[in-house]
Amino acid sequence: MKLLVTGYNGFVAGSALAQAPGDWEVHGIGRSPAAVIASDRGGVVYHQADLLEKKSLDGLLRQIKPDVLLHAAAIANIDFCEANRVMAEGMNVGVTAQIAAFAAETGAKLVFCSTDSVFDGQKSYYREEDPPHPLNFYAETKCKAEEIVLAASDINIVARLSLVMGWPVMGKGNSFLADLVEKLGKGEQAAFPENEIRTPIDVITLGAALNELTTSSYAGILHLSGNTRINRYQMARQIAVRAGYAEDLIRTVDSNALPGRAPRPNDASLDNTRARNLLQTPFLSLEEGLEKSFMEKEKREIKTHIQP
């Protein structure tokens, strides 16, 4: 099995790469120099490249000739996408279209990472068959990319990810949990929206689920989320308590009232019933996911400390 993962230095891709089976030939693509993977899985062949360079990307794809592609690279900052639409469109839609066309031409399977933000938040526990209704430009690009991936081949998968929590396996990644704990450690307050409801999933479980999908015969849309539906304010308070800090350091805010901020769905909770029935990877509650994340962090710190 030859696996290619985009977004090598990213939060989600890092977890999938770290947990990829040792007998796979694994390749990763990223824009910046490769971060070190905190894993014992063995080597990953790293390719530093700008995915927006179409000719370079095409040459790289044909050089690697993967059996499966896990496309996790994206511009995911919602407000940045709103202000930089051409760049966001090029990365989130254009690059996805090129990768999907290559996969269809070569018969490779494509697992594409999408988002819970494709929904408008007017209900709860969105299922795979619920129609998307994006509220911001980032979500619009993801909706377009989903359509491209599903139309390109009947073996492809669109994995819609809920809010991802945990510590990066390599590099800094984009971890709100790491940022929050760092801020709390300085005695600083942190604001989280009480109006935004999600079904957070820990990055370790997510990486395992994505790896399982790369060898699955499943095709179509699948929701990957945790088992707990909770607003982000209450979630942050639970994180504070688990990290050993006072929960009153977390203050509430209405994200819809913040100036200059792109709109977000109020309730983007996902129904993960299909994923729980399909995959062997166990999906966890918020409490279980937090415990798994903190224990894994502590294990890495101990291992780093005892290494000569």
Q: Can you give the chain as a three-state secondary structure string?
A: CEEEEECCCCHHHHHHHHHCCCCCEEEEEECCCCCCCCCCCCCCEEEECCCCCHHHHHHHHHHHCCCEEEECCCCCCHHHHHHCHHHHHHHHHHHHHHHHHHHHHHCCEEEEEEEHHHCCCCCCCECCCCCCCCCCHHHHHHHHHHHHHHHHCCCCEEEEECCEECCCCCCCCCCHHHHHHHHHHCCCCEEEECCCEECCEEHHHHHHHHHHHHCCCCCEEEEECCCCCEEHHHHHHHHHHHHCCCHHHEEEECHHHCCCCCCCCCECCECCHHHHHHCCCCCCCHHHHHHHHHHHHHHHHHHHHHCC
> In this structure, is residue 185 part of a structural domain?
no
> In this structure, is residue 305 part of a structural domain?
no
pLDDT at residue 135, as a whole number: 96
pLDDT at residue 214, as a whole number: 94
> In this structure, is residue 263 part of a structural domain?
no
> In this structure, is residue 28 part of a structural domain?
yes
Contact 68, 3 (CB under 8 A): yes
Which range marks the domain in which residue 120 is found? 2-166+200-228+269-285
> In this structure, is residue 304 part of a structural domain?
no
> In this structure, is residue 239 part of a structural domain?
no
Per-residue pLDDT of the chain (308 residues; tens, 9 = 90+): 899 999 988 889 999 999 988 888 999 998 877 666 555 556 788 898 999 999 999 999 999 999 999 999 999 999 999 999 999 999 999 999 999 999 999 999 999 999 999 999 999 999 999 999 999 999 999 999 999 999 999 999 999 999 999 988 765 567 888 889 999 999 999 999 999 999 999 999 999 999 999 999 999 999 999 999 999 999 999 999 999 999 999 999 888 888 888 999 999 999 999 999 999 999 999 999 999 999 988 877 765 555 54
pLDDT at residue 192, as a whole number: 93
**Residue 92: which CATH number?**
3.40.50.720
> In this structure, is residue 240 part of a structural domain?
no
What is the number of domains present in the chain?
Answer: 1
pTM attached to this predicted model: 0.93
> In this structure, is residue 100 part of a structural domain?
yes
